[in-house]
Amino acid sequence: MFGRDVSQIPCFRNSFMYGIGGGVAIGIATFLGTSRTRLSTHVGFGTFFTGTLGYWLVCRYVIQEFTIMKYLWLKILIFILYATLPCKGINGLKNVLSINS
């Protein structure tokens, strides 16, 4: 899509798969229930659009929250390591975490 590899975009595949599946299923169910082609097409497309967008937003939110929590846990770990070092200061912390400077 516009020169980007869509397989590298998080949540892209699942969002579209669930959107397409939901749109087709709800569209067919609407057609079987009402026998109105135009209505079932509109309902199917609307379900596809809202399903894709909804799944995309929730998935990206979960990934963002996971990333934030991972960052916070890393800061807590660094604080604990720094607090337990016996008077070695920041150089001791760099040695424990194997940070090259």
Tell whether 19 is covered by a domain.
yes
In a domain, 1, yes or no: no
pTM score, two decimals? Answer: 0.65
Give me the DSSP letters along the chain.
-TT--GGGSTTHHHHHHHHHHHHHHHHHHHHHHH--HHHHHHHHHHHHHHHHHHHHHHHHHHHHHHHHHHHHHHHHHHHHHHHHS-S-HHHHHHHHHT---
The pLDDT confidence band at residue 101, using thresholds 50, 70 and 90, is very low
Total of domains in the chain:
1
| Dihedral angle computed from the Cα positions of residues 74, 79, 84 and 90, in that order, rounded to the nearest 10 degrees | 100
Residue 27 lies in a domain: yes
Q: Would residue 16 count as lying in a domain?
A: yes
Mean pLDDT of the chain: 83
Judge whether 86 lies within some domain.
yes
* Boundaries of domain holding 40: 6-97
Tens digits of per-residue pLDDT, 8-19? 888 888 999 999
Band the pLDDT of 4: cuts 50, 70, 90. Answer: confident
Asked if residue 22 is part of any domain, the answer here is yes
